[in-house]
Amino acid sequence: MTSFSDFPLHKSILQAIHDMGFEEPSPIQAACIPKVLEGGDLIGQAQTGTGKTAAFGIPLVQKVSPVNRVQAIILTPTRELAIQVAGELLRIAKYNKIRTLPIYGGQSIGHQIRALRQGVQVVVGTPGRVLDHLRRKTLKLDHVHTLVLDEADEMLDMGFIDDIETIINHLPQERQTLLFSATMPPEIKRLATRYMKNPQTIAVSSEEVTAPLIEQVYYKVFERNKVESLCRILDSEDVDLGIIFCRTKRGVDELTEVLQSRGYLADGLHGDLSQAQRDKVMSAFREGSIEFLIATDVAARGIDVGNVSHVINYDIPQDSESYVHRIGRTGRAGRKGIAMTLVTPREVRQMMFIQKQTKAQIVPRNVPSLEEVAERKQEQLREQLISLLESDEIADMYYKVTSSLLDQYPAEKIAAAALHLAFYSETGEEKEPEGYNFGETGAAKGMVRFFLNVGRNVNMKPQDLVREISESVGIPGKAVGRIDIFENFTFVEVPEDVAPFVYEALRQTRINGKRINLEPAKPRGAKRS
C-alpha cells in the first residue's frame, strides 16, 4: 500500500493533497508520480475517473518553479477539460506560488494575452488556441521542460494532430513528455515514437478481476442533482444497512451533512477521524442505529459487517479492482445484496470499462420518479401501521384522545390527521428538480428529436451516429430512433428518458473528427432561427 507521503513531495504539496481530501494515491497515481518525478517520458493509459489529472499534475507542480516563465504546457482536446485540469492544478499548487492559465477558443484572446503578460508558469490549452498565441508571439515556449498531451486519442479524433506537431516543434528538444490516452490507436503510437524518448508505458489494471455474484445496477445521474437522485434511490429501496462510497474525505463530510440534514440515519467514516470516533461510528453501524455508512475506500477497508444489504457508489470507483472490493461488502455469507453505481454523463465510459473488465452484468436503471417514491413511502407507512395495529404497543393515552374525538369526526379523518401530525415533516412538499424540457421537437411519441450540425459532409453514416450515442450514453443501439442525414446536418430521435443524456454527452464529442453541436429540433414546418 502506498501513501502520498511515500513520494519525495514537498510538504506544501502534501498539505494541498490533504486539503483536497485525497486519502491515498489511485493506482495510476501510484505508478506515475514516482516515474514522472524521476524524469523520463511516460505513456499513461487511463481515462477520466481514474485520477489521471493528479497523476501528472502532482509531480508537475513539484517540478515547476515560481520564476516568471512558462515551464509546462498541457494540451487538452476541449475547453471543458482545459478548465477542469487548470482547476485541479490550482488546488494542487494551493501553497505554491505558481500560476496556471487555461487558454481555449471561444474566450476573448485579449483577455488571455493580458493574463499571459502578467506571467504564468503553467499553460493548459486546446491546440488551436495555443497555436494562435504562438503565431501572435504572445506565448513563448522556449523554457518549457514538461509537455503533457492529455486525452491524446480525443485530440486525434478531433483532427488536432497537425496542430500538436507544430506546437511540439516550438518546444525545446530537452524536455519531459507525458502522454495520456484511454486508447492507443496507431497514430498515437506514431506520435509517441516520433516525439518521445524511450517512453515507459503505464497501463493500470489491464487484468480481469472477478466481481462477486450479486445484483449490480447503475443509474445515470447528473452532477448537479446527484444528491437528489441518491435520496430518491434510497427512499425507494428496502435498506438494512448500506455503505455509500465517496471519492474523497471532503466528499464524505459533505454528503454526511446533507443526508443527516434530510433526516437519514447516516454517519461518515474517513482517515481524518480519531480511532475513538471511528469505533463509535462503526459500532453504531453494526447495531443498526445508523443505517448508512458513508466512507472512502481507505476507511471502508477491513470493515466486516455481515448484513450490509446495499453498496452504493455515489462516486464511481477509480478502477475495476476498487469496484470489486467495494461491492464485495455486501452479499456476505449467502445473504442477498445489491450494488448500485451513480454515473454522470462524463463517467459512462468508465462504467462500461469496469463492466468489460469485470465481465459483470451491470444493469441500467432509472432514478425513481417522485410519484414512485411517494407510492413507496405510502407502502412503508402502511406496513408500519399494520405491524403496530397487530401489537399491543399503543399507549392508553392515544386511545383516550381518539375516542374523545370519535363523536365529532369520522374515524378515517382522525387517523389521517394523526399520520399527518407524525409524518408531515418527512413527506412535506417536494419539487421535481429542474430537468430539461426540450419542448415540441417534432419527434415520434415518447421520443425527442435533435438537430446535429454535421451530416454527409463528415462521411457520417447512421451506424456511426448510433454507435456514438450508444457508447456515450450506454443504451442499446436499437433504442435510437429515426435518423435523417442530410448534406450538412442531421436529425436523430432518441427516447425521452435518455434525451438529456444524449444532449449532455454528445455536445462534448465529435464524429469523424468534427466537433458536433446538438440542439433540440424545431417541429417540422417551423423555421430555424
Residues that bind ligand AMP in the complex, under the rule CB under 6 A: 22, 25-26, 29, 48-54, 88, 247-248
Q: Rounded to whole angstroms, how far apart are CA atoms 436 and 167?
A: 40
Q: Determine the Cα angle at 21 with ends 50 and 256, to 5°.
A: 105
What is the smallest separation between the CB atom of 52 and ligand AMP, expressed in angstroms? 5
Q: Which among 3, 28, 53, 33 has a CA at the least distance from the CA of 202? A: 28
Rounded distance between C-alpha atoms, residue 489 and residue 75, angstroms: 29
Nearer to ligand AMP, 57 or 520 (CB): 57
Distance CA 313, CA 306 (A): 19
Grid coordinates given for 370: 417522485
CB of 8 vs ligand AMP, minimal distance in Å: 17
**434 to 125, 132, 365, 437, 505: CA distances (angstroms):** 32, 39, 20, 9, 18
* Distance of alpha carbon 274 from alpha carbon 169, whole angstroms: 53
CA distance 200 to 188: 14
Minimum Å gap between C-beta 245 and ligand AMP is 11
Nearest residue (CB) to ligand AMP, 232 versus 247: 247
Q: Which lies closer to ligand AMP via its Cβ, residue 29 or residue 472?
A: 29
Report in angstroms how near the CB of residue 150 gets to ligand AMP at its nearest: 9
Buried b (16+ CB within 10 A) or exposed e, 437-447: ebeebbbeeeb
DSSP β-ladder status, 242-245 and 310-313: parallel
Q: Do the strands 72-75 and 215-220 form a parallel or antiparallel pair, or are they unpaired?
A: unpaired
Separation of CA 42 from chain center: 25
Specify the DSSP class assigned to residue 107.
S
Nearer to ligand AMP, 268 or 331 (CB): 268
Using the minimum distance from each CB to ligand AMP, give the nearer residue, 44 or 125: 44
Closer CB to ligand AMP, 16 or 485, in the complex:
16
Give the integer Cα–Cα distance in Å for 87 and 74: 13
Task: Please report how close the Cβ of residue 43 comes to ligand AMP at its closest, in angstroms.
Answer: 16
Q: Residue 133 or 349: which CB sits closer to ligand AMP?
A: 349
What's the closest the beta carbon of residue 479 comes to ligand AMP, in angstroms? 28
Name the grid cell of 254: 459533505
- Alpha helices per DSSP H over 390-482: 396-405, 411-427, 462-473
Select 42 or 141, whichever has its Cβ closest to ligand AMP.
42
DSSP string, 154-181: HHHHTT-HHHHHHHHTTS-SS-EEEEEE
The partner residues of 201 in beta bridges, in order of sequence, read 43
If the CB atoms of residues 26 and 121 are measured against ligand AMP, the closer one turns out to be 26
Which C-beta is closer to ligand AMP: that of 4 or that of 218? Answer: 4
Residue 504 Cβ vs ligand AMP, minimum distance, rounded to whole Å? 16
Q: State how beta strands 122-125 and 100-103 pair.
A: parallel
CB of 405 to ligand AMP, least distance (A): 56
Q: C-beta of 186: minimal distance to ligand AMP in Å? A: 25
| Min dist. Cβ of residue 26 to ligand AMP (A) | 4
